[in-house]
Amino acid sequence: MDIDLKGRTALVTGSTQGIGLAIATGLARAGATTVVNGRSDASVARALETLRSDAPGTDVRGVAADVATAEGAGTVHDQVPEVDILVNNLGIFGARPVLDIDDDEWRRYFEVNVLSGVRLTRLYLPRMMERGWGRVQFIASDSAVVIPEEMVHYGMTKTALLAVARGYAKTAAGTGVTVNTVLAGPTHTAGVENFVGELVGSDLPWEDAQRRFMAEHRPNSLLKRLIEPEEIGNMVVYLSSEYASATTGGALRVDGGYVDAILP
């Protein structure tokens, strides 16, 4: 497929590293004017430098703001008042026994992983609907369906995104705007490397640690390896294109076959 996103503007939250940066890179390479977002000027500057190296000649911009807050979401909207493609990627994760999670931690995960996307969609969706074209995507996880025992609070937020996206898709029905969720499987990022080290031991060589993590903690995976961020990005770029015009209200899996079901 020759995906051409020239003339489109895309905003990817939490895109200074990992999956978000890979998504931004894929969108930029497809021709979209791409806005990266992170909490600090320094992290945004580093991401832009990487993007300009990996996607030379593309139009990339950055906004430093914490979109987990209403003020940060407003800052982004003020600086980028209209987008054609919104990718709600921002998220946090971490292992903690569910009985040890206090109220503040439950709220923090919900604010960052769910409300950040809710706020931005509320800000950007109306103009997309008025213009008759738009793409909104929420980056969820296999944990939305297979709740991990070691991070129930994270799984809860990703399950919530499935409902949120479906609801917004109904709101946008018949307008030319699509809203979908991408279910990312266990993915190879710097944060996940640290997470794997916490679970299986940081003294192991990476390849051994990855194999042990997949065997002991993600045995359902049919890939038997971590997914690379670019593989998640490929799905997002497709869903952002004209080719995906009939796909809305869905949960698209890039999980390496981890979810042991025909449907999410």
Q: What pLDDT does 105 receive?
A: 98
Q: What pLDDT does 201 receive?
A: 87
- CA gap 33, 5 in Å, rounded: 8
Structure tokens, 94: 């971490």
- CA gap 97, 258 in Å, rounded: 22
Q: What pLDDT does 146 receive?
A: 93
Q: What pLDDT does 99 receive?
A: 97
Q: What pLDDT does 1 receive?
A: 81
- CA gap 76, 141 in Å, rounded: 25
Q: What is the CATH number of domain 9-187+227-254?
A: 3.40.50.720
Q: What pLDDT does 33 receive?
A: 98
Structure tokens, 180: 């979908």
- CA gap 178, 133 in Å, rounded: 8
Q: What pLDDT does 195 receive?
A: 84
- CA gap 88, 11 in Å, rounded: 8
The strand pair at 60-64 and 85-88 is best described as unpaired
- CA gap 21, 48 in Å, rounded: 9
Q: Please give the chain's pLDDT, 264 residues, in tens.
A: 899 999 999 999 999 999 999 999 999 999 999 999 999 999 999 999 999 999 999 999 999 999 999 999 999 999 999 999 999 999 999 889 999 999 999 999 999 999 999 999 999 999 999 999 999 999 999 999 999 999 999 999 999 999 999 999 999 999 999 999 999 999 998 888 888 998 898 889 999 999 999 999 889 899 999 999 999 999 999 999 999 999 999 999 999 999 998 886
Q: What pLDDT does 262 receive?
A: 86
Are the beta carbons of 19 and 191 closer than 8 angstroms? Answer: no
**Rounded (5°) CA angle 25-26-30:** 115
Q: How would you class 77 by CB atoms within 10 Å of its CB: exposed for 0-12, middle for 13-18, buried for 19 or more? A: buried
Catalytic residue positions, numbered: 154
3-state secondary structure of 177: strand
